Chain A
Amino acid sequence: MPDDMTARQATLPADNGMSPEALRRLESMAAAARRRRRLQAALPWMVIVGMFVVWEIAVRAFDVPQFVLPAPSDIAASMVKWWVPLLDNSWQTLMTTLIGFGFAIVFGLLLGVAIGSSTLLYHGLYPLLIGFNSIPKVAVVPILVIWFGIGTVPAVITAFLISFFPIMVNVATGIATVEPELRDVLRALGARHSDIIRKVGLPRAMPYFFASLKISITVAFVGSIIAETVAANKGIGHLMILASSRFDVPLVFAGLMMTAIMGVAMYVAAVAIENRTTGWAMRGQNDQQQVKFGGA
Chain B
Amino acid sequence: MERPFVEITGVAMRYGGVEGTLALQGTTMDVRKGEFIAVVGPSGCGKSTLMRLVTGLWPATAGNVVVAGQEVTGPLSIAGMAFQNPTLLPWRNILDNVMLPLEVVEPHRRRLRAERATYEARARDLLALVGLGGFEQKFPWQLSGGMQQRASLCRALIHEPALLMLDEPFAALDIFTREDLWAVLQDVWMARRPTVILVTHDLREAAYLADRVLVMSSRPGRIIAERIVDFPRPRTLETTYKPEFVSLVHDLREYISAARKGEEVVNA
Q: Which of B89, B100, B104 lies in contact with A190, CB distance below 8 A?
A: B104
- CB of B75 within 8 Å of the partner chain: yes
- CB of A184 within 8 Å of the partner chain: yes
- CB of B142 within 8 Å of the partner chain: yes
- Is the beta-carbon distance between B105 and A184 smaller than 8 angstroms? no
- Is the beta-carbon distance between B159 and A185 smaller than 8 angstroms? no
- CB of B184 within 8 Å of the partner chain: no
CB-CB under 8 A for A187 and B57, given A182-B87, A296-B146: yes
- Is the beta-carbon distance between B105 and A283 smaller than 8 angstroms? no
Segment of B10-18, B77-85, B216-224, B259-267 engaged in the interface with chain A: B77-85
- Is the beta-carbon distance between B103 and A188 smaller than 8 angstroms? no
Distance of B154 from chain A, by nearest CB (Å): 13
Query: What sequence of 0s and 1s flags, for each residue 63-106 of chain B, a beta carbon within 8 Å of any chain A beta carbon?
Result: 00000000000011111111101010111000000001101111
- CB of B141 within 8 Å of the partner chain: yes
- Is the beta-carbon distance between A287 and B100 smaller than 8 angstroms? no
Distance of B259 from chain A, by nearest CB (Å): 26
Q: Which of A189, A283, A295, A296 lies in contact with B159, CB distance below 8 A?
A: A189
B81: which A residues are within 8 A, CB to CB? Answer: 184-185, 188
CB-CB under 8 A for A280 and B55, given A188-B165, A190-B77: no
* Separation of A190 and B77 alpha carbons in the complex (Å): 4
Q: How many residues of A contact B (CB 8 A)?
A: 27
Using CB atoms, name the residue of chain B closest to A277: B91
Interface size classification for chain B: 35 or more
B85: which A residues are within 8 A, CB to CB? Answer: 179, 181
- CB of B143 within 8 Å of the partner chain: yes
* Separation of A174 and B104 alpha carbons in the complex (Å): 21
Specify which of B87, B156, B159 lies most central, judged by the most chain A CB atoms within 10 Å of its CB: B87
Within A5-51, which residues are at the interface with B (CB < 8 Å)? none
- CB of A81 within 8 Å of the partner chain: no
- CB of B204 within 8 Å of the partner chain: no
Within A191-208, which residues are at the interface with B (CB < 8 Å)? 191, 195, 199-200, 203-204, 206
CB-CB under 8 A for A187 and B87, given A195-B104, A295-B143: no
Using CB atoms, name the residue of chain A closest to B105: A189
Within B82-140, which residues are at the interface with A (CB < 8 Å)? 82-83, 85, 87, 89-91, 100-101, 103-106, 139
8 closest pairs, A vs B, by CB? A190-B77, A182-B87, A188-B79, A191-B104, A188-B55, A181-B83, A280-B91, A187-B75
Pairs across A and B, CB under 8 Å, 22 listed:
A179-B85, A179-B87, A182-B89, A185-B81, A185-B82, A185-B83, A186-B100, A188-B81, A189-B75, A189-B77, A189-B80, A189-B101, A189-B104, A190-B77, A190-B78, A190-B105, A203-B89, A204-B89, A206-B91, A280-B91, A287-B141, A296-B144
